[in-house]
Structure 1
Amino acid sequence: MLRKIALLGEYTPTFQPHIATNAAINHSSNKLGISIEGVWVSTDDIDNSIFNTYAGIWVAPGSPYKNMDKTLWAIRYARENAVPCFGTCGGFQHQIVEYARNVLGFQDAQHAEYDPYASSLFISKLDCSLAGREMSLTFAADSLVAEIYGSRTATEQYYCNFGVNPEFVSLISSDQLKVTGSDNEGEVRVIELPTHPFFIGTLFVPQARSTAEVPHPLVTAFLKAVAVNTHYDRGQGA
């Protein structure tokens, strides 16, 4: 049975992370021998029916999005209803903002790309842009991401100019959300919800390193979670 993933973002056919996202889904679906299709959905087109059609959401690179509020609503729904949710680059950043607003209670939590002068900037502009850089990562020993990689270290590629505001790191890493990946300077690069079937965010762009011969393990793990999404099976995706 064909399943679909909603790729939330403003698709640009010449933007390399978007090209890589489409390719990585094909790489991993072929490896797994399952039929999963990624469909780009503008954030302005998100509505209450999205989870009737899609068995998972991938909040894609390329922010700012046309509709931040609808994006945060979709992330919240996926988080609260065990729907696989993968966030990369800008998607990771929006997962942080959603969590800050709806779990930590910071209703004014904001992203500097939308409002650089907000009082609760959970996502701030990086002192040094990571766009185009490759960096080493270390994963927490007991994390899902380490299990997926089969390693506690990796090297990944970035396209971002924004990241987690260091002032809020201690608040973000709570009993629910875990910071499970960092760079050599200890900066937050991976988050996950251990109690969720698949709720992972990466500031890097894993799809950029996926190939047909070696599909990226995070993308493959996400597709596996989509394939067995019981929320979708209970009549949501008829």
Structure 2
Amino acid sequence: MRTVRKLIFLLTCGFRVYYSPVLVIQSLHLFLRSSMTTNYIFITGGVVSSLGKGIAAASLAAILEARTLNVTIMKLDPYINVDPGTISPIQHGEVFVTEDGAETDLDLGHYERFIRTKMSRRNNFTTGLIYSEVLRKERRGDYLGATIQVIPHITNAIKERIMECSAGYDVVLVEIGGTVGDIESLPFLEAIRQMAVEVGRAQTLYIHLTLVPYIAAAGEMKTKPTQRSVKELLSIGIQPDILICRSDRLVPNNERGKIALFCNVPKKAVISLQDVDSIYKIPSLLKSQGLDDYIYQRFGLNSPEADLSEWEKVIYQQANPIGEVRIGMVGKYIKSPDAYKSVIEALKHAGLKNRLKVNIRLIDSQDVETRGIEMLKDLEAILIPGGFGYRGVEGTIQTVKYAREKKIPYLGICLGMQVALIEFARYVAGMQDANSTEFVPDCKYPVVAMIAEWRDQVKNLGKPVAKDAMGGTMRLGNQACYLVAGSRAQELYGATTIIERHRHRYEVNNVLLKYIEAAGLRVAGWSEDYKLVEMIEYPDHPWFIASQFHPEFTSTPRDCHPLFSGFVKAAGDYQKSQK
């Protein structure tokens, strides 16, 4: 009966708004795509940003997955950019690349590190993407001359994307970016309010993450910010079912009761989420307060208790290292560590695997240029991550030279591979002015360049070559790589063919590659068609490997990536050799 009522409601909505047949068809489509077995958890935030909605969503998903549910997570970002691909990493953090080549919010990296489900372009969209799609349909005439409005056109587009991502999953967690009260988030909040009407309130659940600050001068916690935030949410038409209260300490029982009373939720649905020394403790922290049990009762689900033994193992490894290594990460965006979030986490995962605490020293590549390589002393391994643009590049090249000559373990990723090639060409292969055309378009030896620049390479050495447009020239997402037999890379992976994720535009110049190989550098991995260099090694070095792809995107605390595991092990071996 509820299914019939829902269908009638959707159809009448279509007729009520401009009497549009198109909206009726859209309503039918929405109804047919919705799964009666899919449950939706919408996660909003209040008071202030950066409370950790992404970590909380991922941790809850990990518990539900441990109870044998098929789970996925979505992130709805309120900014106007179509995607984060062109946003400065210093301002927004890293761009996380999915298997299918989508440039997405860094929270999707958290999702993949906590659950086995792989994210895709369907798991993240922005206000800019929604508006651009609606306007494209309007220009095509899809709306038959209707006046385009936020309701229903924008909200319908949001709901359709949520439905598209939900097919085949038991539970879909949807994180709304920003905080309640932000003007940018209103269309998303209105869309998820409508979801409860259209899908059914029994299949939707609202979690609100809010701040409960401790005022040291008063010696007490204050619940008023949470009350105000919930009031703001209620004004939009959303009554939260669960409140997750972020604080620097455990929220006492009395304060939880007060929050429950004023915010109209059961006391057992007020969850305290205090600061912890490891984000991987959060699943256990939430489970210990019965959050998953409450959700199961709310949805009428039935499955075994969550088995968090894998996370307990992670926590044990983290708390009981048998040693410590110092690894320097020399990059362009060090002032914003979130720009390298996946790399930092992957190094920590490798530390768990090797039972070593990884002490990561973040070093700005520009500081290496101005202050010299003295900054690199006392390191037991060096990593150079990805980046774009010329700023700080000479500092990374000097860093590679130091690691190569001092026999310090080196791992280069994307830009880190390109500068390793430039350094080797300059100081070993005798190409004194070697560079990338990204940095110096008229360099004499463009050992890294756009593929389109190779055609006239031999004739035009020392002259600028016309470039293709920057847009649409990236290699993105999963691509196959063939590892060379007998290489260190092949030994680390234990395979001859691997799949890794890419995000780059410039490639190793095959015209000049043979001269670099003749000087001793070895290609360890090729693209699927054997035309592009994917990995390089320096055999005359204890551990010197670089990749064009981004291995950090597939590393998790439960399944450490072999390149990072081998790199951290090499750091431990180097440390022993120096004693």
Alignment partner of 1:133 is 2:477 = yes
- Report the alpha carbon displacement of residue 179 of structure 1 after superposing the two structures with TM: 0.5
For the Cα contact (< 8 Å) 2:373–2:398, is it kept in 1?
Answer: no
Output the CA distance in 2 between the equivalents of 1:182 and 1:166: 12
Output the CA distance in 1 between the equivalents of 2:402 and 2:444: 26
Output the CA distance in 1 between the equivalents of 2:361 and 2:476: 26
Output the CA distance in 2 between the equivalents of 1:30 and 1:153: 26
For the Cα contact (< 8 Å) 1:143–1:180, is it kept in 2?
Answer: yes
Structure 2 residue aligned with 1:146? 490
> How do 1:29-108 residues align onto structure 2 when only pairs under 5 Å count?
29-46=351-368, 47-64=372-389, 66-108=391-433
Output the CA distance in 1 between the equivalents of 2:551 and 2:536: 14
Structure 1 residue aligned with 2:535? 190
Output the CA distance in 2 between the equivalents of 1:27 and 1:230: 19
Structure 2 residue aligned with 1:6? 328
Output the CA distance in 2 between the equivalents of 1:85 and 1:64: 22
Structure 1 residue aligned with 2:440? 115
Alignment TM-score, normalising by the size of structure 1: 0.91
- DSSP 3-state at the match of 2:503: coil
AA of the residue aligned to 2:383: W
Identity of aligned residues (%): 27
- Report the alpha carbon displacement of residue 195 of structure 1 after superposing the two structures with TM: 2.5
> What is the CA deviation profile of residues 61-99 of structure 1, one whole-angstrom value per residue up to 9, with x for unaligned ones?
013353222221221121112101110100000000000
AA of the residue aligned to 1:33: R
- DSSP 3-state at the match of 1:156: strand
Output the CA distance in 2 between the equivalents of 1:233 and 1:50: 18
Alignment TM-score, normalising by the size of structure 2: 0.39
- Report the alpha carbon displacement of residue 48 of structure 1 after superposing the two structures with TM: 2.7
- DSSP 3-state at the match of 1:133: strand
Q: Which runs of 4+ in 1 moved over 3 A?
A: 12-15, 126-131
Name which one, 1 or 2, has greater alpha-carbon Rg. 2
Higher RCO, 1 vs 2 (CA within 8 Å, ≥6 residues apart): 1
Output the CA distance in 1 between the equivalents of 2:517 and 2:417: 14
Structure 1 residue aligned with 2:344? 22
Structure 2 residue aligned with 1:172? 516
Output the CA distance in 1 between the equivalents of 2:403 and 2:342: 23
AA of the residue aligned to 2:343: T
> What is the CA deviation profile of residues 168-221 of structure 1, one whole-angstrom value per residue up to 9, with x for unaligned ones?
121122352100100112111110012311101100011111111111000100
Output the CA distance in 2 between the equivalents of 1:55 and 1:106: 29
- Report the alpha carbon displacement of residue 231 of structure 1 after superposing the two structures with TM: 8.8
Output the CA distance in 2 between the equivalents of 1:156 and 1:188: 13
**Given the superposition, is the C-alpha separation of residues 126 and 215 from structure 1 closer, same or farther in structure 2, using an over 3 Å criterion?**
farther
- DSSP 3-state at the match of 2:399: helix
> What is the CA deviation profile of residues 123-166 of structure 1, one whole-angstrom value per residue up to 9, with x for unaligned ones?
10245734432100111111000000001110000111111012
Output the CA distance in 2 between the equivalents of 1:37 and 1:65: 28
Output the CA distance in 1 between the equivalents of 2:389 and 2:577: 29
* Bigger shift: residues 179-188 or 223-232: 223-232
Q: What is the Cα-based RMSD across aligned positions, in Å? A: 1.9
> What is the CA deviation profile of residues 5-39 of structure 1, one whole-angstrom value per residue up to 9, with x for unaligned ones?
11111224454xx1110110111101111111222
* Bigger shift: residues 187-196 or 4-13: 4-13
* Bigger shift: residues 143-152 or 77-86: 77-86
- Report the alpha carbon displacement of residue 228 of structure 1 after superposing the two structures with TM: 1.5
> What is the CA deviation profile of residues 91-136 of structure 1, one whole-angstrom value per residue up to 9, with x for unaligned ones?
0000000000000111110111111222211010245734432100
For the Cα contact (< 8 Å) 1:79–1:196, is it kept in 2?
Answer: yes
**Given the superposition, is the C-alpha separation of residues 230 and 39 from structure 1 closer, same or farther in structure 2, using an over 3 Å criterion?**
closer
For the Cα contact (< 8 Å) 1:10–1:65, is it kept in 2?
Answer: no
The gaps in structure 2 that reach 5 residues or longer are 1-322, 453-471
Alignment partner of 1:225 is 2:570 = yes
Output the CA distance in 2 between the equivalents of 1:126 and 1:216: 29
Output the CA distance in 2 between the equivalents of 1:76 and 1:231: 22
- Report the alpha carbon displacement of residue 55 of structure 1 after superposing the two structures with TM: 1.2
- Report the alpha carbon displacement of residue 50 of structure 1 after superposing the two structures with TM: 2.8
Give aligned pairs, total: 232
Alignment partner of 1:216 is 2:531 = no
